[in-house]
Structure 1
Amino acid sequence: MYDDSSGAFGLALFFLLFLPIILIFAALGYVLSSYFLMKIFDKAGVQGRWRAWVPVYNTLVFAKLGDFSPWVMLGVILASGILAQIPVLGFVFALLPLAASVMVGLRVGTKLNKEWYWMLLWLIGIGYYIWLGVLAFSKDRWNTNIPPAPWANSFLADKTVWEGVPAQQGGAYPPAGYAAPAPGAYPPPAAGAYPPPAPGAYPPPAGYTAPPASDVPPAPPVPEDPNAPRV
């Protein structure tokens, strides 16, 4: 009978030698990405730098900054971990977090004035960290005055409000049940509702010189009232 104990011993030795190295690189990657996220969160006005150092939670905050629902992102991560075990089709579900991350990354990059092709750095081994570093240390300021996300009207859109994480695209979201007033709900003010300002209420503009008295035409004579009593 074939004895594979030597092969098992060699495999165990391999893991014992390389596992510490793998763990060291994983820790360095986590510290580096968290530090870059902290800088990006500062640009976006996120309160509390600790948010960038909490695993998974920092990804959800990053999703909010990319106009992507953090709860959908969390569901994608969990579903991918479970459905990826399905034979044959499992690899498709394993790509779901990557697809969501690309959507979020494009939005965050746009808000920092970075074109889509910067994300091609993801195709190389450490490109993701380079991309985060570019966003973190670029001189561009955070800008939410951009067109809405293509998924703005779907379940993917971020509609949550988290204290300390600024709402995107124009400030806080309206409260539940809020409805904007219909056009024409407030009629325009009636004519004469606002009387004109009294003469002299506004000072003349700088550099204005009043004309001399000789240039001012005399006031027209007031016609005499024939019915007025004579003295």
Structure 2
Amino acid sequence: MSGYYDDGTGAGALLALILLILPIILILTLAGYIISSFFYMKIFEKAGVQGKWRAWVPVYRELVFAKLGDISPWVMLGALVATAVLSNIPAIGFIFSYLSIIALALASVRVGQKLGKDWPLVLLYIIPGLGWLIWLGIAAFSSSPWNPNVQPSPWRTSFLRDTTVWQGIPVQPDGGAAPAAGAYGASGAGYAPPAAPSAPQAGAYPPPATPPAPPAGAYPPPAAQPPVTPPTTEPPAPDAPRQ
């Protein structure tokens, strides 16, 4: 009868492997955080964000990036939380693991447009682990100036739009939804302003020019006098006939 004897060698080897790999993972994670924060800082500077510290705060920097990309920071926060919490659900967890990537990709499309970059560059996100970092580096060191006046986003009237205002972060032109009909600033079927006077047609008689106003201190012209009506006299009565 043969028996199985475990002297703990396998467990010790596994523990040694973990202790060997764990420092490497920590070093790579720290390096990725430092590099990505530096790239975020460069992008924030281009966009006019006040305070470089914003790029070095985990999670918060993604919320600021979402605002620059015309995505609500609360939508981005929900995507990050859903990815961290719900991605461990068996069978369907992998679906939630893509939520944060999709939200970051949408914001990256808008940020790239404002930096003069075409949207296909966002396909770098497909590269696991390094794709988003490569895209951030391209955007951070882009020579194009920040231009927020780009075409409206497809989600401008959806729940994805950004309507928040945070101090120190420029409000993007695409941030608010289009005003509702009848609201202030919206064109409706009510009162319409008068049309501007049209220019006279060619060959038409020009209207008389308005006489210039008299200079200050000049003697005012005399007021027009009413016409004098001569008194009416009755004709003399005819003489009586003589007999």
Output the TM-score relative to the length of structure 1: 0.74
- Rate the CA distance shift 1:86–1:190 in 2: closer, same or farther, 3 A: closer
CA distance in 2, matches of 1:59, 1:65: 10
For the residue of structure 2 that corresponds to 1:168, the secondary structure is coil
Q: Tell me the residue number matched to 1:150.
A: 154
2:18 corresponds to which of 11, 15, 20? 15
CA distance in 2, matches of 1:86, 1:54: 28
**Structure with the larger helix share:** 1
8 Å CA contact retained: 2:43, 2:140: yes
AA partner of residue 179 (structure 1): Y
Q: Tell me the residue number matched to 2:74.
A: 71
Q: Tell me the residue number matched to 1:126.
A: 130
What are structure 2's unaligned runs of at least 5 residues? Answer: 198-208, 213-243
CA distance in 1, matches of 2:142, 2:68: 17
- Return the offset for 1:110: 0.9
8 Å CA contact retained: 1:67, 1:149: yes
For the residue of structure 2 that corresponds to 1:162, the secondary structure is coil
Tell me if 1:179 matches 2:201.
no
AA partner of residue 10 (structure 1): A
Tell me if 1:164 matches 2:168.
yes
Detail structure 1 runs of 4+ shifted over 6 Å in the superposition.
Answer: 170-174, 196-199
Tell me if 1:53 matches 2:56.
yes
- Return the offset for 1:143: 1.1
How many equivalent residue pairs?
194
Q: Tell me the residue number matched to 2:102.
A: 99
For the residue of structure 1 that corresponds to 2:133, the secondary structure is helix
1:109 corresponds to which of 89, 109, 112? 112
- Rate the CA distance shift 1:46–1:8 in 2: closer, same or farther, 3 A: same
8 Å CA contact retained: 1:167, 1:173: no
Tell me if 1:87 matches 2:74.
no
8 Å CA contact retained: 2:71, 2:161: yes
AA partner of residue 144 (structure 2): D
CA distance in 1, matches of 2:89, 2:121: 33
CA RMSD of superposed structures (Å): 2.9
- Rate the CA distance shift 1:28–1:198 in 2: closer, same or farther, 3 A: farther
- Rate the CA distance shift 1:2–1:198 in 2: closer, same or farther, 3 A: farther
- Rate the CA distance shift 1:5–1:131 in 2: closer, same or farther, 3 A: same
Matches within 5 A, 1:17-36: 17-36=20-39
- Return the offset for 1:109: 0.7
- Rate the CA distance shift 1:152–1:73 in 2: closer, same or farther, 3 A: same
